[in-house]
Structure 1
Amino acid sequence: MKQSNLLAAAKFQSSSYRARKQFPKKLNKAFGFLLFSLLLSPITVTAADITEQLHYPQIDKKVLQQSRDEADTLLRLGERQNIEGNPNKAVDSLLQAKEIYHSIGDLNALGLTYEFLGKSYIELKQYKKASDAIRRRLAIARDTKDFQSQIFALNNIGTLLLQKGEFQTASQTFEQALTIAQNLSSSEGYGISLSNLGLSAARVGDYNKAIKLYKNALNYRRKVGNPIGEANTLNNLGEAYQIVGSYQDRIDTYGAALRLAQASRDNINQLRAIDGLVAAHSSVGRYNSAIELLEKRLAIASYLRSPREQLNSFESYAQIYEKLGKYSTARNFYERAITLAKTLEDSRKELLLRDRVTQMMKKS
């Protein structure tokens, strides 16, 4: 089963805003694992580029507070829109918040706004804008000496580099984040940095090293009580075990990820864990167990109203029934997947599915 968005892999996180506004913790862990190919230009934005642009007009305190309240409302709205799957609307809200924070010189809130903008642009596949937002977030964190936010910004930049194929530079960036985490004794920073270093090792084929890094990362993610981060690292570990581990290693690891994701209502990691379990069970012919898991997968996809995840579910069903020699049932699921591919205007996927049906029917 194909792995869902690695963008399940390094989440955008922040601490700078917590001290001033009581944002829910899960919003500060909105997302961490960006994934898919994109171009990243060199990090040329400096703190001075941003702070020199800021101006501090003499505004009446009441007007200043009204402006800040308006920006805070827009920031919350943008993050909620991100969570609800409306990145276009989120960008509109966040850009308005950015302008207000810029005008009143609120660097901490401006940094958080850039962080959320990065997430929105990633969802929209506007990767150049996303990388610019992330770099600006890092520049502000450095200017304000917000070391915790520097850790997460560096991890996000490293993940972008990783997806671009610049493995050595990505590892160096994760190492920078890890060094800051060590200096701060930040368990949260340790967890995400070690997990991403594990991803980097896996990308160059060093799965034994990746497994050690993931296991170490899990200690810190459990220590801070970060179930989403822990589930993500467990899924990464499961993928490494898929290459070098035993069937039982995979079942235990993906099973733990699924339980955590269910408890925290983390749908993305639930889908990843189910995909891993389906692949593990299928590899040893336990197709009934795989089909039971796919029922859960399809229910989640339907709940999310995600045609893409529904398509993936139907394709998995089709592949299992094809292995079982139940070609008529398999064809039915392939056809349902093809219909969704048309809806998504994914002509490449549609062509691949049609070819799969043709090849299968030659066997029937």
Structure 2
Amino acid sequence: MNRGYLSVNVMRRTSVALISGAVLILSNPALSQTVSNNTEGFDLQDQLTIPLNRSLQREERNEADLLLRLGGEAKRQENWQKAIAYWQQALDLYQKIGDFEGQGLAYNYIGLTYADLGRFSQAEESLRRRLGVARFLQDFQGQIYALNNIGTVLLQSRNLEAAQVSFAEALTIARTVGDREGEGLSLSNLGLVATSAGDYLEAIKQYKAAITLRRRLGDPLGEANTRNNLGDAYFAIASYKDAIGSYRYTLQLAQDSRDIPNQFRALRGLAKSYSIIGPDLLAIRYLNQHLALAQEQESLSRELVSLRLFAEFYLARGNLSKTRQFYEQAIALANAIGETQQEALLRNDLAQILYERGD
């Protein structure tokens, strides 16, 4: 089941959990139409004064809820523009009847989808409106997750200072209201800011604090994300044994919870780390596991990643025959799945390698 688009009644009861699940799991290196004019100058106080016919209000809310679900279906089918259009229609109705929870959900989904499309200014605008709704309702958990989503978008657009401010505000609110889940998320995201700034020791400090909270809460997905980030930080400072320890723990945790994305990340981290410090047999073992998991999941894009990792592994060992074999397999797969940019890059890399090696 996709947590992002449960029935609307459930969404209203569990809006915080939904938003946390939708955070561009920045802890997972996630992500331009403008917001339509009828949302400009959006004033919550004005809407409170609008008299409503109760029967009509109920009909319009049901229609808005349906549009929210239709948007979810469209997004699952990767029809991004249609999803946004549905959610915008839902938003218009929620505004008309003064349903603030509905507005918050619609703004959140619109913002996250804009972020997925790389339209960061539109994403930030929608998510800040979602934050405004949460503040008006004095919904502290909603504020925490909105601020984390905003910080994620800012981080993806390389605005590190503003991202730091957003995550820090989320952390302050979380600690003030005793929201341990929000605190763990905010700490993990602050670690990502430090990583992006190249301050890996600070990142490690933040990640460890986040892991402590996420473990206590029994949050395997959050813990696995943060442990992968911790492994990446150790890898960046060439502390490969510590990186391996973090990735191995993550892999077991992710396997136990059937968390496929974090399994892929941990396997890549293990393969890269063992490729550097050896033994090669372990590097190959984890590369094979990555490829097998990609095939099991029928993920051709991740299979392509596996083939490229194999090619890079053999290139580092001077095995030109194996390097060429895996590059050619990767090129054929990229062509088959229409990854034209990847295909061009792979062809260029292979040509450069063959030229330099005189083949």
Q: Is this a same-fold pair by TM over 0.5? A: yes
Match of 1:211 in 2: 204
2:120/2:153 contact within 8 Å kept: no
The 5 Å alignment of 1:186-197 reads 186-197=179-190
Q: 1:50 to 1:301 in 2, by over 3 A?
A: farther
| Structure 1 CA distance for aligned equivalents of residues 127 and 259 of structure 2 | 24
Deviation, 1:268, is 2.2
Equivalent residues of 2:19, 2:108 under 8 A apart: no
Is the 1:278–1:294 Cα contact (8 Å) retained in structure 2? yes
Q: What is aligned with 1:322?
A: 315
**2:152 match:** 159
Paired AA for residue 224 in structure 2 = A
2:73 maps to 1:58? no
Q: Quote the Cα distance in structure 2 between the aligned partners of 1:255 and 1:346.
A: 31
The residue aligned with 1:30 is 22
Say whether residues 1:357 and 2:354 are aligned partners. Answer: no
Contact 1:17/1:109, CA 8 A, preserved across alignment: no
Alpha-carbon distance, 1:203 to partner: 2.0
Are 2:84 and 2:110, in contact at CA under 8 Å, matched by a contact in 1?
yes
Residue 37 and residue 163 in structure 1: after superposition, are their counterparts in 2 closer, same or farther (change >3 A)?
A: farther
- Determine if contact 2:215/2:223 at 8 Å carries over to the other structure: yes
Query: Following TM superposition, by how much is the alpha carbon of 1:27 offset from its aligned partner in structure 2, in angstroms?
Result: 6.9
Matched with 1:225 is: 218
Letter in structure 2 aligned against 1:135: R
User: Does the 8 Å contact 1:47/1:140 carry over to 2?
Assistant: no
1:68 aligns with 2:61: yes
Q: Which moved more, 1:75-84 or 1:88-97?
A: 75-84
Match of 1:274 among 267, 279, 282: 267
Displacement of 1:306 after TM fit? Answer: 4.3
Name the amino acid aligned to 1:59: N
Q: CA deviation at 1:342?
A: 4.0
Cα gap change, 1:116 to 1:317, in 2 (>3 Å) = same
Greater fraction helix: 2
Deviation string 1:67-86 (CA, Å, 9 cap, x unpaired) is 33343344345446546655
Distance 1:312 1:53 in 2: 52
Q: What is the CA distance between 1:54 and its match in structure 2?
A: 3.8
Q: In 2 relative to 1, CA 67–264 (structure 1 residues): closer, same or farther, beyond 3 Å?
A: farther
Q: Deviation of residue 348 (structure 1)? A: 4.8
* 1:265 Cα deviation after fit: 3.0
Q: Are the aligned partners of 1:17 and 1:108 in contact in 2 as well (CA < 8 Å)?
A: no
2: CA distance, partners of 1:17 / 1:156: 23
The answer for the alignment partner of 1:114 in structure 2 is 107
CA 1:19 to 1:302, structure 2 compared with 1: closer, same or farther past 3 Å?
A: closer
Worse-superposed segment, 94-103 or 253-262 = 94-103
> Quick one: distance in 2 between partners of 1:180 and 1:85?
34
Identity in percent: 41
Report the Cα distance in structure 2 between the residues aligned to 1:244 and 1:72, rounded to whole angstroms: 49
Change (3 A) 1:38 1:81: closer
Q: Does 1:21 align with 2:9?
A: no
Aligned to 1:259: 252
Instruction: Report the AA paired with residue 30 of structure 1.
Output: A
Structure 1: which 5+ runs fail to align?
1-11
Q: Which of 159, 169, 175 is the matching residue for 1:176? A: 169
Q: Which residue, 122, 132, 143 being the options, matches 2:125?
A: 132
8 Å contact from structure 1 (residues 50, 140) kept in 2? no
* Distance in 1 of aligned mates of 2:9 and 2:130: 12
SS at match of 1:29: helix
Cα separation, partners in 2 of 1:337 and 1:88, compared to 1, 3 Å: farther
Counterparts of 2:289 and 2:31, CA distance in 1: 32
Change (3 A) 1:160 1:145: same
Question: Does the aligned pair in 2 maintain the 1:257–1:270 contact within 8 Å?
Answer: yes
2:288 aligns with 295
- Identify the range of structure 1 (235-244 vs 292-301) with the bigger mean alpha-carbon deviation: 292-301
Q: Offset of 1:30 from its aligned partner?
A: 2.6
Aligned counterparts, 1:228-247, within 5 A? 228-244=221-237, 246-247=239-240
Query: TM-score when scaled to structure 1?
Result: 0.81
Q: Is the 8 A contact 1:88 1:124 kept in 2?
A: no
Contact residue 107 and residue 129 of structure 2 kept, 8 A: yes
**C-alpha separation in 2, matches of 1:48 and 1:247:** 52
How many residue pairs end up in the alignment? Answer: 344
Cα distance change of structure 1 residues 268 and 96 upon mapping to structure 2, 3 Å threshold: farther
SS at the partner of 2:53? coil
The match for 1:143 among 136, 139, 142 is 136
Distance 1:218 1:37, change over 3 A: closer
Q: What RMSD over aligned residues (CA atoms) do the two structures have, in Å?
A: 3.4
* Amino acid paired to 2:351: T
Q: Structure 1 residue 211: deviation in Å?
A: 0.7
Distance 1:253 1:110, change over 3 A: same
Change over 3 Å in CA distance of 1:326–1:350 after alignment to 2: same
TM-score (norm 2): 0.82
Letter in 1 for 2:191: G
Structure 1 residues 343 and 52: alpha-carbon distance in aligned structure 2, compared to 1, 3 A threshold: farther
Q: Of 338, 343, 352, which aligns to 2:331?
A: 338
Contact 1:54 / 1:102 at 8 angstroms: preserved in 2?
yes
